[in-house]
Structure 1
């Protein structure tokens, strides 16, 4: 790779990989969203914090001086991956330049995240929804992966000491069949369903299984990450939603990417002591007006979407905006969950989760 001086890098308008490959770039550095989506990561691999990126304390996950990290984000090419517009009154920044590669979650944050994430399989069985699966997502389309996930998780929720071994054997069998499928030619809803099923299986195996289950789940973490990248790349081509169902699919995809990274980050934090997904998560988008997520009919969505435009923001911008007092109003459970790993126990009074 050709050497570039620091001054040359500061003027660079494309990420390193796209500049050298002469590809169209949305100008996020050092890796653009295209490279992230296709897994073309170099120094910021999600599971490996390099020697130049030592674990940071939870204090350093707060915010470094903004004027040191200005990045030119003009003419960004992929709306699905960029803020529209920024929540902040300061010039447009790339959260990836502000957040560290890794952080150490405090005990309070870890317990809050673990308790809630472990509840998602049962929540899905009871109400067919989670913070990343909309309650109406699978109304008209019920793929095999979701049918299998529901069946296995329903059996898991009522297992006894006598049936536990059988339930785990069925879980292993369904997981093996799921990861063996080729999703390269699948549609976005099919990829989304496969990711949802594998995520729910992984939550059980990683956080509530025995040593064998954790070992099997670890073997499939790479597959889940690759599927998430493919989901991200496929969703990047979406046009603005004009129907409620289109919005449900798009927002479920956005939230799903965030939770794939969060689940992996939490598990690695428990296992190794630090979360390596901070920087990658900071540039993931979601719809900031979570009122739209809770609506139950198409008519109410059309009414509220006119009143509350479904603007997407980057995760990192959302955390910074809330801490700087630019997000008035009461936080809901989903918003609190996003802020917990960013802000930690110092904000426990505002971020304590119900239940």
Structure 2
């Protein structure tokens, strides 16, 4: 596009390692997911010089959490937006219309990445933080009672039930019925199962096994980070990097999936897309509670999911095939979705999943439209 900002163009070029390896690059900074997962040096030739000339060194330095974190107090009571959409004016009309972009695979991006419009870090207001916390804490219990969460489809584990999911279900079921007398024992079992899980090497695992391992670890992390004692939080922090590495591996490998031709394939691909979003959201929520600052804004803005979320609630293959082909394949980026909704480009009522995505983006000023049942 002739009128695309130079920074947006440079951000969409592959890093040197991915370019030399002729592999897809998701263009995240400071490291793309492939470089982080494989321990490679991640360098972008054109992004740094252009960004420095455009923003100046002082503004660039202020985008890093290490520079702004110590000045921030814990969760602010003020109405501060996770992604301050009103602050990013653009004459490029494709930003408003690209939220409903058809993409052939998990990591294919539209012509203009929304990451160029979002800051690296920001603060989530207190109401939004509480909404996210109360709902995310419920997911282990929701999974036990209904075998689903907003990132695990209810039919995902019908035909294939990996050991990691069996262990997770058993631990979560016990945790949901814990008493003061059994709590210590259940936490010890949780620690043991978590240790066994993270000790496994998933570099060579088949993709369904990798996704199941990510699901099990993130459900354990939800309990340990948000509903455990100091010991549990400390253990969860030790395993947080493992969860991130597995998620980057999932992101890279799922990006090579061919377009879904069956309902089962779509269930797997959409579960993977949503899982990547929620792993980053869980980490963002914990860091917000701990430091008052969310560092993952720009990275989350380029994460995709299926725009027609009612497809998630379909219960049969026939009902999925009954939907038009273009609706089954329409993928939206998180950042484009948030911008599009604020600009009136998202039709119909919001479901719970969409509200959860918009809460940290838009904040308490949209409370009447976004409040979830806790």
TM-score, structure 2 normalization: 0.81
Q: Which runs of 5+ in 1 are unaligned?
A: 1-6, 87-91
**Higher RCO, 1 vs 2 (CA within 8 Å, ≥6 residues apart):** 2
Deviations 1:30-57 (A, max 9, x none): 759x92344266799xxx7243899795
Counterpart in 2 of 1:187? Answer: 206
Counterpart in 2 of 1:36? Answer: 33
- Residues 20 and 175 from structure 1, CA distance in 2 versus in 1: closer, same or farther, beyond 3 angstroms? closer
User: Counterparts of 1:30 and 1:163 in 2: how far apart (Å)?
Assistant: 44
Pairing of 1:74-153 with structure 2 (within 5 A)? 79-83=105-109, 92-153=111-172
Contact between 2:118 and 2:297, CA under 8 Å: does it hold in 1? yes
Q: 1:173 aligns with which of 192, 200, 217?
A: 192
Deviations 1:321-352 (A, max 9, x none): 00000111100000000000100001111101
Contact between 2:8 and 2:112, CA under 8 Å: does it hold in 1? no
Counterpart in 2 of 1:291? Answer: 310
User: Counterparts of 2:361 and 2:92 in 1: how far apart (Å)?
Assistant: 20
Does 2:67 match 1:51?
yes
Q: 1:336 aligns with which of 355, 370, 373?
A: 355
Q: Which runs of 5+ in 2 are unaligned?
A: 49-59
Does 2:85 match 1:66?
no
- Residues 26 and 13 from structure 1, CA distance in 2 versus in 1: closer, same or farther, beyond 3 angstroms? farther
Contact between 2:104 and 2:329, CA under 8 Å: does it hold in 1? no
Pairing of 1:130-279 with structure 2 (within 5 A)? 130-279=149-298
Contact between 1:103 and 1:274, CA under 8 Å: does it hold in 2? yes
Counterpart in 1 of 2:13? Answer: 15
Contact between 1:99 and 1:279, CA under 8 Å: does it hold in 2? yes
Contact between 1:132 and 1:255, CA under 8 Å: does it hold in 2? yes
Contact between 1:285 and 1:313, CA under 8 Å: does it hold in 2? yes
Contact between 2:152 and 2:271, CA under 8 Å: does it hold in 1? yes
- Aligned pair count reads 335
- Residues 60 and 260 from structure 1, CA distance in 2 versus in 1: closer, same or farther, beyond 3 angstroms? closer
What's the RMSD between the two structures over aligned residues? Answer: 3.2
User: Counterparts of 2:209 and 2:188 in 1: how far apart (Å)?
Assistant: 25
User: Counterparts of 2:8 and 2:112 in 1: how far apart (Å)?
Assistant: 14
Tell me by how many angstroms 1:310 deviates: 3.0
User: Counterparts of 1:161 and 1:323 in 2: how far apart (Å)?
Assistant: 46
